[in-house]
Amino acid sequence: MNALQQVWGVLGGNPADLASVTVTSPDEILPSIFKVTEAATAVVAAGSLAAARLWRTRGGPDPEVTVDGRAAAVALRSERYLRIDGVAPPVWGPLSGDYPTADGWVRLHGNYPAHHRAVLTALAVPESEVAATLRTASAVAVEEAVLAAGGAAAAQRTRSDWLGTPQARALAKLPLIELTCRYDTPRRPLGQADRPLAGVRVLDLTRVIAGPVAGRTLAGHGADVLRVGADHLELVEPLVVDTGFGKHFCHLDLRDPAARDTLRELVRQADVLIQAFRPGALAQLGLGPDDCAAVNPGLVTVSVSAYGQAGPWSGRRGFDSLVQVATGIAHETATAAEADHPVPLPAQILDHATGHLAALAAVEGLRRRSQHGGSWHAEVSLARTAAWLDGLGRHDGLALPEPRVEDLLTETDTPFGRVRHARPAGTIAGQAPYWANPPHRPGADPAAFR
- Sequence-separated (6 or more) residues with CB below 8 Å from residue 380: 176, 177, 178, 210, 302, 303, 304, 305, 354, 357, 358, 361
Q: Round to whole Å and give the CA distance between 143 and 147.
A: 6
Question: Residue 386's pLDDT is what?
Answer: 98
What would the pLDDT profile of 301-360 be if each residue is shown by its tens digit? 999 999 999 999 999 999 999 999 999 999 999 999 999 999 999 999 999 999 999 999
Is-contact 48 432, C-beta < 8 A? no
DSSP alpha helix (H) spans, 97-194 = 113-123, 130-134, 139-148, 159-163, 166-172
Q: Round to whole Å and give the CA distance between 145 and 271.
A: 40
What is the number of helices (H) and of strands (E) in the chain?
Answer: 16, 16
Residue 1 has pLDDT above 80, yes or no: no
Q: Tell me what percent of the residues of the chain surpass a pLDDT of 90.
A: 98
Is-contact 61 107, C-beta < 8 A? no
DSSP string, 360-376: HHHHHHHHHHHHH--EE
Residue 22 has pLDDT above 80, yes or no: yes
Phi-psi domain of 52 (left: phi exceeds 0; alpha: psi -120 through 50; beta: other): alpha
C-alpha closest to that of 222 among 192, 189, 266: 192
Strand partners, 98: 107
Is-contact 82 241, C-beta < 8 A? yes
- Could you say which architecture CATH assigns to the domain 1-450? 3-Layer(aba) Sandwich (3.40)
Q: Round to whole Å and give the CA distance between 398 and 336.
A: 8
Q: Round to whole Å and give the CA distance between 372 and 11.
A: 15
Strand partners, 421: 410
Residue type, position 194, single letter: D
What would the pLDDT profile of 128-155 be if each residue is shown by its tens digit? 999 999 999 999 999 999 999 999 999 9
Question: Residue 280's pLDDT is what?
Answer: 85
Q: Round to whole Å and give the CA distance between 255 and 356.
A: 30
Other C-beta atoms closer than 10 Å to the C-beta of 442 total 18
120 vs 278, more confident: 120
Q: Round to whole Å and give the CA distance between 276 and 251.
A: 16
Domain residue ranges in the chain: 1-450
Residue type, position 224, single letter: D
Residue 278 has pLDDT above 90, yes or no: no
Q: Round to whole Å and give the CA distance between 262 and 252.
A: 8
- What count of residues does the chain have? 450
Q: Round to whole Å and give the CA distance between 211 and 203.
A: 11
Average pLDDT over residues 22-37: 96
What would the pLDDT profile of 31-46 be if each residue is shown by its tens digit? 999 999 999 999 999 9
Residue 221 has pLDDT above 80, yes or no: yes
- Report residue 48: phi and psi, to 5°: -65, -40
Q: Round to whole Å and give the CA distance between 419 and 147.
A: 35
pLDDT classification of 292: cutoffs 50, 70, 90? very high
Question: Residue 447's pLDDT is what?
Answer: 98
To the question of pTM greater than 0.95 for the whole model, the response is yes
Strand pairing class (83-84; 153-155): unpaired
